[in-house]
Amino acid sequence: MTATTTRTSALPQQRDHKRRLVVVGNGMAGVRAVEEVLERGGAQQFDVTVFGAEPYGNYNRIMLSHVLTGQEQEDSIFLNSLPWYTENGIDLRAGVAVTRVDTFAKVVHDAEGGTTPYDVLVIATGSSPFFPTMEGLRREDGSMLDGVFGFRTLDDTRALLAAAREHRRAVVIGGGLLGLEAAHGLATHGLQVDLVHSPKHLMNQQLGPEAGRVLRRVVEGLGITVHTGVRTKGVHGTDRVTGVELPDGRVLDADLVVVAAGIRPNTTVALASGLDVERGIVVDDRMRCEGGAGDVYAVGECVQHRGQTYGLVAPLWEQASVLADHLTGADPTAEYHGSRTATKLKVAGVDLVQMGLPGPENDDDEFVVFSEPHRGVYLNVVVRDDRLVGATLLGDVRKTTFLQQAFDQGLPLPEERMSLLFDLGTPGEEVGVAELADDAQVCNCNGVTKGAIVQAVEGGATSLNAVMGATKAAKGCGSCKSVVEQITQWAAGGNLTVDESANWYVPGVPMAKPELMTAIRERGLKSVSAVFRELAPGGAEDAKSKMGLTSLLRMMWPEGIEEERDGRFINDRVHANIQRDGTFSVVPQMKGGVTTPEQLRTIADVADKYDVGMVKVTGGQRIDLLGVKKEDLPRMWKDLGMPSGYAYGKSVRTVKTCVGTDFCRFGLGDSTKLGIDLETRFQGIETPAKLKLGVVGCPRNCAEAYVKDIGVVAVGNGKWEVHVGGAAGASVRKADLLATVDSPEEVITLAGRFIQFYREWGNWLERTYEFVPRLGIERVRAVLVDDSDGLAAGLDERMQVTVDNYRDPWLEGQEPVTPGQFRTSLPLVDLPLVPRRPAGAPGGLVPEVHSNSNATPSTAEVSR
Amino acid sequence: MSVPTQRATRHDVCPLDDLPVGEGRAYVVGGEQVALFRRRSGKVSAVQATCPHAGGPLADGQIDERVVVCPLHQNAFDLDTGESTTGQPPIAVHPCSVDPDGRVTVEL
């Protein structure tokens, strides 16, 4: 590489040597600019160096709020992993901060004393959280009090997650987009959250007062306490924050405080380098910096363009595109003229889309409003000169696609303005995709049009994942994913390929379940390792596939398989449910939820003897003993002398019952007895996912049978309804009526047939509330009740063999199957502290904590 | 915890037979908690016993020839390099071998 002596212009030139492109900032804007440059063949023109202050690859900052709620894992928000830089020949200086640039010598100075010459420089230093002045926020040495967080980086998010696990009260300062997302994230972790916002209403940057008030109701409905029109006076605490003081003297207790009071462009480097800086780094329509000696550009949240700074992702991607057009010479006339911004709030349970103006500004602006605060719905549109210049959709975002197109492209609007908000003839969401114009923007984060998606499909991408990979559509906030999927389906017509791996039973063996079962049967494979050896690519094992294969083999070979303990998840190796601190929970069997004084006495004695951390009645009408050490399990089962209640497996769990006819004055059928009979017959049988049953003696549904995987309801005259596919967990679904039968015996037969059908045809981890709708209840009924496919007898027979071969796993405790089966794996280091809540002290937290941080790993085996 | 670079001590930990094939067990080695794994290929690995994500007991995890998967939140770590394949910070890996007389030793 030689240093160029002449001034380098941004136009492409024939050169023997590539120009040196240095990017300061490894965030979304900087890397997007590099990607756009590479896409225009820039690898031929430039040697690229990227400086990043954070020691990571490039990640999607927008998704940090999903990481905070746990909806996304960290690894899924990385846009460019470290190998991507290597593959593209980019010299990444991760963790190296740039201090200043000498624009005359064309050299970048970094904090480690290094100098890096450049021909073209791009500044993309982003922005930082703004910390308003508050008394007590900083210690005397200027450092921030412990427990005060920004919410901006992956490290911030990690720190917040860690703090959320240990603390109970949080105050979020700032009720804008980020503040609301932070507050919601913390509330999801069970913290009590106060949100303090100094303007009069929430999201005042985007919303009018009325919409802000409706939003407040919705947010309060999520359990967040909202204080608007209140400035934060100061922060209490000497070393660590203890509370936030309001101007009226009230103090909100806080173990942690998140400051989300807006962002400020990071301009330190630009200032130190003599570039023009006002609120942000001043750039022209070509993203070129003013001041300095030229060949310096800037993009992203650090810039000020025509007096405007942006804190959203779509504008910075438009800027990156213009910049790349100039740098590579792909389009020397490209200009950036500012962005029309749209905002989406990413808080589960709150649908909010806002674009353009929050309300009318001029006298002749048209303004259509619909407000229904008790339902949390507020909708408005602002129309000027027959063009849409603003829209707010809260609580009902069905019209988003149409309004977004109208807003972005200035489409002509229907005469009847109300139809902008309600379906009176404008394209609804379903008809949308076919009628969308080719240049209609679908993914606003990444600026992907319908045409680009169609092109990708024509270019051979015929699955959603392939289209997302090729176009980046739906890879920003992800809210357009369903539209992208619809367009992909529409464009692919009949040629849509489903992502193959999505059909595989487990990730490590490339076969769908029926195909896999045939191969296993034909080859007589009876162990997990044999399946990998014969059927996996290269015979390679896959840790995440083992549990599913063990379950499948046990279903296929009820008389027994070649047991390999490493094929089982820890719960199935020690027959108890692992808890967050590495201890286990033990649930003795209590068929139908019916117990006796003797059983209760035994359980009480055992709980005392083994110093059980918490005794809890479960939703499935069982008693849960929590906080049991692994090494105590076998002795505990022996002392209990009861069989396992299967509270840990992918198997038949519990049958919940009401009191039925014995005592209830409404009971129509003996639900208690039928529940016990069902549990006796099907106890512990492996299923693709857990299976919860319920039996009720009348349609009052006291044991919630209508939302069970299998729910049985007595309806009088000796008749019973059998419902399947219900759920009342993360999904709530009322079960479908499979059949009405005439006796408890028929219920047992039909339930067994359904379970076996599910075992043979259900995908691994597919709950019945997904399985039944996938096949359709009519199809399930045809197969199981009308025997349309001649499968019924075989299903009954195989279920019978399975039942005959059942063994209670807790008997295993008497004699360990493997060396150290019940040896502790608990570490000496500190674990999440699980508060101890003894029976008889309702809600009362005892200050003593139950942790195994001092547990000495026992080398002594359990008694053999 | 980091991989020691100098003056590591060899510790005799347990007979190989104490490690069931394909499973893990936790031991205290030189005052530190270490999870030992015996892969199906016969190779034995020693890594830090706790998951950096939420302190899960890695010895209770499931393994293959490449990774261990934490039982609490299914984060995975390479048994040879300690790198996480699910975006977590890496775990410490300690040199580990099986003596001719069937004893497992760990350098720490």
Q: B65-108, pLDDT tens digit by residue?
A: 999 999 998 899 999 999 998 878 999 999 999 998 899 999 98
pLDDT on residue A812: 67
CA distances from A716 to A669, A672, A693, A697, A720 (A): 7, 15, 20, 9, 8
- Decide if B5 is inside a domain: no
pLDDT on residue A54: 82
Contact with chain B for residue A717, Cβ under 8 A: no
- Decide if B69 is inside a domain: yes
Average pLDDT, whole number, for chain B?
A: 90
pLDDT on residue A8: 43
- Decide if B80 is inside a domain: yes
Please indicate, yes or no, whether residues A785 and A703 belong to a single structural domain of this protein: yes
Report how many domains make up chain A.
4
CA-CA distance, A58 to A771, in Å (whole number)?
38
- Decide if A732 is inside a domain: yes
Please indicate, yes or no, whether residues A246 and A156 belong to a single structural domain of this protein: yes
Residues in chain A within 8 Å Cβ distance of B26: 823-827, 857
- Decide if A86 is inside a domain: yes
Residues in chain B within 8 Å Cβ distance of A73: 86-87
Among the candidates A328, A360, A382, a domain finishes at A328
Q: Is the pLDDT of residue B1 over 60?
A: no
Please indicate, yes or no, whether residues A192 and A253 belong to a single structural domain of this protein: yes
Q: Residue A674 — φ and ψ, nearest 5°? A: -65, -40
Instruction: Choose, out of A580, A825, A853, the residue to mutate when testing the contact with B (most B CBs < 10 Å).
Output: A825
CATH number of the domain within which A114 lies: 3.50.50.60
Strand partners of residue A160: none
Please indicate, yes or no, whether residues A86 and A112 belong to a single structural domain of this protein: yes
- Decide if A439 is inside a domain: no
Please indicate, yes or no, whether residues A248 and A270 belong to a single structural domain of this protein: no
Please indicate, yes or no, whether residues A657 and A778 belong to a single structural domain of this protein: yes
Torsion angle of C-alpha atoms A802, A805, A810, A811, degrees rounded to 10:
180
Residues in chain A within 8 Å Cβ distance of B24: 825
Please indicate, yes or no, whether residues A157 and A91 belong to a single structural domain of this protein: no
- Decide if A665 is inside a domain: yes
Report how many domains make up chain B.
1
CATH number of the domain within which A799 lies: 3.30.413.10
CA-CA distance, A98 to A26, in Å (whole number)?
12
pLDDT on residue A262: 87
- Decide if B95 is inside a domain: yes
- Decide if A154 is inside a domain: yes
Please indicate, yes or no, whether residues A35 and A66 belong to a single structural domain of this protein: yes
A29-58 burial string, b = 16+ CB within 10 Å, else e?
Answer: bbbbbbbbbbebebeebbbbbbbbbbebbb
Q: Do A74 and B23 touch (CB under 8 A)?
A: no
Using CB atoms, pick whichever of A541, A567, A825 lies closest to residue B26: A825
Using CB atoms, pick whichever of A74, A543, A581 lies closest to residue B62: A543
Look at residue A515 and give its three-state secondary structure.
helix
- Decide if A775 is inside a domain: yes
- Decide if A526 is inside a domain: yes
Residues of the domain holding A52: 19-128+265-328
pLDDT on residue A303: 95
Q: Do A578 and B23 touch (CB under 8 A)?
A: no
| 535-564 of A, contacting B, C-beta below 8 A | 540-544, 546-547, 564
| Residue stretches of chain A with pLDDT short of 70 | 1-16, 423-432, 476-479, 494-500, 812-814, 826-864
- Decide if B14 is inside a domain: no
Look at residue A360 and give its three-state secondary structure.
coil
Residues in chain A within 8 Å Cβ distance of B69: 543-544
Residues in chain B within 8 Å Cβ distance of A565: 20, 22-23
CA distances from A38 to A34, A189, A596 (A): 6, 41, 73
Strand partners of residue A626: A614
- What ipTM did this prediction achieve? 0.92
Residues of the domain holding B61: 19-107
CA distances from B20 to A567, A760, B59 (A): 12, 31, 12
CATH number of the domain within which B40 lies: 2.102.10.10
- Decide if B9 is inside a domain: no
Using CB atoms, pick whichever of B26, B27, B64 lies closest to residue A541: B64
Residue of chain A minimizing CA distance to B86: A75
- Decide if A538 is inside a domain: yes
Degrees (nearest 5) of the Cα angle B87, B88, B90? 115
Contact with chain A for residue B23, Cβ under 8 A: yes
- Decide if B78 is inside a domain: yes
Please indicate, yes or no, whether residues A165 and A124 belong to a single structural domain of this protein: no
pLDDT on residue A20: 94
CA-CA distance, A744 to A696, in Å (whole number)?
12
Please indicate, yes or no, whether residues A789 and A676 belong to a single structural domain of this protein: yes
Please indicate, yes or no, whether residues A188 and A319 belong to a single structural domain of this protein: no
Strand order in the sheet with A98-102: A98-102, A107-110, A115-117
Please indicate, yes or no, whether residues A786 and A668 belong to a single structural domain of this protein: yes
Contact with chain A for residue B81, Cβ under 8 A: no
Contact with chain A for residue B11, Cβ under 8 A: no
- Decide if B1 is inside a domain: no
pLDDT on residue A699: 87
A353: left (phi over 0), alpha (psi -120 to 50) or beta: beta
Among the candidates A551, A568, A585, a domain finishes at A568
CA-CA distance, A362 to A387, in Å (whole number)?
14
Contact with chain A for residue B21, Cβ under 8 A: yes
In the A/B pair of chains, how many CB contacts fall below 8 A? 114
Using CB atoms, pick whichever of A74, A547, A856 lies closest to residue B87: A74
Q: How many residues does chain B have?
A: 108
How many CB atoms within 10 Å of residue A414?
A: 14
